[in-house]
Structure 1
Amino acid sequence: MVVEVVVMTEELNDDHDVVVIGGGPAGLNAALMLARARRSVAVVDAGSPRNAPAAGVHGMLALDGTPPDELLERGRAEVRGYGGEVLAGEVVTARRERSGLAVRLADGRAIRARRLLVTTGLVDELPDVPGLRERWGGDVLHCPYCHGWEVRDRAIGVLAGGPMSVHQALLFRQWSADVVLFTHTAGPPTDEEAERLAARGVDVVDREVVGVEATEQRLTGVRLVDGTTVAREALAISPRMTARAGFLADLGLHPVEHPAGVGQYLPCDELGRTEVAGVWVAGNVTELSAQVGNAAAAGAATAARINAELVTEETDRAVAAGRSPFSAADEARNCELVLGNRRHGL
């Protein structure tokens, strides 16, 4: 007996108006707008949100403190409620086809669309200091607007590691009177920076950091290269931020260095268009400092612009068809005549 084995790849041969790559706040809000505009839209999400370690999303009106996974699940349900698709998968390549654009997933599935909206966000590259990764998103943090309230009035350290470190220390001074800037390997601040830090009561420790000390529940200190420890209850860092966009290489689209020197991003115009026709971006993949609310708003705005572009394209096509010397009815009659002649051997 021969058993035929059929491998199901779930090849998606139907075309979509828009494929959104990335299912975070920017991508889901864009998909929601497009689905409500009666566009066929599919969201492909790899399931690795940047803010997964955080206990809650903050600074979102009426949603402050909502756990990130709960916010995304609610967003996915809303998109599906309007007929949009939300697919679990990782996009590995994107290419141009005669009919538009196509993306291929790691499991072999392919999806085609007239437009691509990339909302894959970014990856935080943490400083190479033991102990930071394990506490990232808790008492090792980055954004004061996202987590400053949660560490207010605590002993806060700021680990220098980028061009914005002094600014970051001065920002955290708004949430606590006890802030220490660790220069680590960045070297001492300039005279002007030192004056500004001193004016706000921010101490500077000009030594390399080699680790953090903590109990299971909380951070307790920052360990220096000379063996001493400075007691701290929270540590702010400046990770290098890199756009998740390697899958766009076949389209000739690559992340570039951000002008502020904080990482790599995908440039676009003020509407969200990239230099590659049909490919749009929104959220942290192009705006590295965007919070959840900003990213969601950008997704909605970019979705509206994509829909407007598609409407214009469809209208232009309809106008061109109306100006054609042959109407649709004429074309149908001509086809019937040709088929009839073939049947009669003419």
Structure 2
Amino acid sequence: MDDNTHSDVIVIGGGAAGLSGALTLARARRSVLVLDDGHPRNAPADGVHGFLSRDGIAPSELVGLGAAEVTGYGATILRTRVTSARPDGAGFVVGTDSGRTFTARRLLVTTGLVDELPDLPGVAPRFGHDVLHCPYCHGWEVRDQPIGVLGTGPFAAHQALLFRQWSDDVTLFLHTAPAPAPDESEQLAARGITVVEGEVAALESSDDRLTGVRLVSGRVVPVRAVTVMPRFTARSDVLTGLGLTTVEHPMGIGTHIETDDRGLTAVPGVWAAGNVTDLLAQVIGAAAAGVMAGAAINADLIADDTRVAVERHRELQQSHVAATGLPERGFAATAGELR
């Protein structure tokens, strides 16, 4: 890539969505460059779950295997941070923190999101271990243990009812969440979920293991896991030069980039896949979205290639008629002439 800075597609972000899109495009014989800064969202997690045939794999191992497959088909992966992206004629220019710039006909944005966690002592250091947010990603690992639900918004009761599937010892700490509605209170009581009023002061740990939730009142409730509901913020700062802006998610859980069902954004030539657009996608869902976007980009490039080929073919037909006086019928250009 040192001597070739132009690609059919630049993929910004090398997680499950980006690598899956790159794999699809590379197998379609497209020149692909993946730019990734090496800081995936799920790096703190003990394992990736719900990914068929790879359940429990370490996030770094999954990315490593995917990167090997992508480069095996001829794509290039560079560890660098993208600092800018802008349209340039029929394509795009992407700048990096190394000072190098790259150009491409199309862009696939898979930059992911940032989990904005509750600002409480003990939350951030344990996130991805015994401080969790997704029952389908981590519920099995904390099954049958005392689980605390840290209430921070209107989905607190819903989250408590979800985690009740994995344990019969669930406590909802209202913290800053609104009091449950009457029907929610009835549901929580029917499922045996304890509701604790009052704000939480901190999470307590011992021997590198979560042990309890300490309230502002000083009371400590023993737990082995705590679930939180972060605010999800799409990583999109680099895309302002493209005219892309994030919008509030319809569920009010964060910001994302809007796309159609195949990942096309409002900017022609720019696709997005994974958590940057689908805030609730698990790893396998992000990977699937990357495949769909990759296929859509290839189809768009085929249409562009065909348009150019038709224009060239017509020019050669006209030149043939002018030079020979013969009719266009029966004219066939060689592959070399069409290039």
CA distance, structure 2, for counterparts of residue 323 and residue 225 of structure 1:
78
CA distance, structure 2, for counterparts of residue 328 and residue 279 of structure 1:
36
Do structure 1's residue 185 and structure 2's residue 201 form an aligned pair? no
Give the counterpart of 1:203 among 185, 194, 197: 194
CA distance, structure 2, for counterparts of residue 66 and residue 114 of structure 1:
34
How far residue 325 of structure 1 moved from its aligned partner, in angstroms, is 6.2
Do structure 1's residue 37 and structure 2's residue 40 form an aligned pair? no
The equivalences for 1:26-175 within 5 A come to: 26-175=17-166
Do structure 1's residue 213 and structure 2's residue 204 form an aligned pair? yes
Residues 201-247 of structure 1: CA deviation (Å, up to 9, x unaligned): 11111110010111133111000010101111100000000000100
Q: What is the TM-score of this pair, normalised by structure 2? A: 0.92
C-alpha contact (below 8 Å) 2:154/2:177 kept by paired residues: no
Residues 324 and 133 from structure 1, CA distance in 2 versus in 1: closer, same or farther, beyond 3 angstroms? same
Partner of residue 3, structure 1: none
Partner of residue 333, structure 2: none
C-alpha contact (below 8 Å) 1:159/1:165 kept by paired residues: yes
C-alpha contact (below 8 Å) 1:321/1:327 kept by paired residues: no
C-alpha contact (below 8 Å) 1:210/1:225 kept by paired residues: yes
Which SS does the other structure have where 1:241 is aligned? strand
CA distance, structure 1, for counterparts of residue 124 and residue 156 of structure 2:
19
CA distance, structure 2, for counterparts of residue 326 and residue 216 of structure 1:
79
Which SS does the other structure have where 1:276 is aligned? coil
User: Structure 1 counterpart of 2:222, which letter?
Assistant: A
User: Structure 1 counterpart of 2:284, which letter?
Assistant: G
CA distance, structure 2, for counterparts of residue 265 and residue 237 of structure 1:
20
Residues 193 and 12 from structure 1, CA distance in 2 versus in 1: closer, same or farther, beyond 3 angstroms? farther
CA distance, structure 2, for counterparts of residue 224 and residue 65 of structure 1:
33
C-alpha contact (below 8 Å) 2:264/2:270 kept by paired residues: yes
How far residue 324 of structure 1 moved from its aligned partner, in angstroms, is 2.6
CA distance, structure 2, for counterparts of residue 12 and residue 279 of structure 1:
25
Give the counterpart of 1:16 among 7, 16, 25: 7
Which SS does the other structure have where 1:129 is aligned? coil
Residues 43-66 of structure 1: CA deviation (Å, up to 9, x unaligned): 000111111111111111111111
Do structure 1's residue 273 and structure 2's residue 264 form an aligned pair? yes
C-alpha contact (below 8 Å) 1:242/1:263 kept by paired residues: yes
Contiguous gaps of at least 5 residues in structure 2: 323-339
CA distance, structure 1, for counterparts of residue 167 and residue 51 of structure 2:
23
User: Structure 2 counterpart of 1:152, which letter?
Assistant: R
C-alpha contact (below 8 Å) 1:162/1:262 kept by paired residues: no
* RMSD of aligned residue pairs (Cα, Å): 1.8
How far residue 11 of structure 1 moved from its aligned partner, in angstroms, is 7.1
C-alpha contact (below 8 Å) 1:163/1:262 kept by paired residues: no
Which SS does the other structure have where 2:267 is aligned? coil
* Matched positions, count: 323
CA distance, structure 2, for counterparts of residue 85 and residue 49 of structure 1:
18
How far residue 255 of structure 1 moved from its aligned partner, in angstroms, is 1.1
Give the counterpart of 1:297 among 272, 282, 288: 288
Task: State the identity as a percent.
Answer: 57
Partner of residue 335, structure 2: none
Partner of residue 330, structure 2: none
User: Structure 1 counterpart of 2:209, which letter?
Assistant: R
User: Structure 2 counterpart of 1:312, which letter?
Assistant: A
C-alpha contact (below 8 Å) 1:40/1:84 kept by paired residues: yes
User: Structure 1 counterpart of 2:18, which letter?
Assistant: G
How far residue 330 of structure 1 moved from its aligned partner, in angstroms, is 9.5
How far residue 28 of structure 1 moved from its aligned partner, in angstroms, is 0.4
Give the counterpart of 2:242 among 245, 251, 257: 251
Partner of residue 317, structure 1: 308
CA distance, structure 2, for counterparts of residue 260 and residue 203 of structure 1:
26
Contiguous gaps of at least 5 residues in structure 1: 1-9, 332-346
C-alpha contact (below 8 Å) 2:5/2:101 kept by paired residues: no
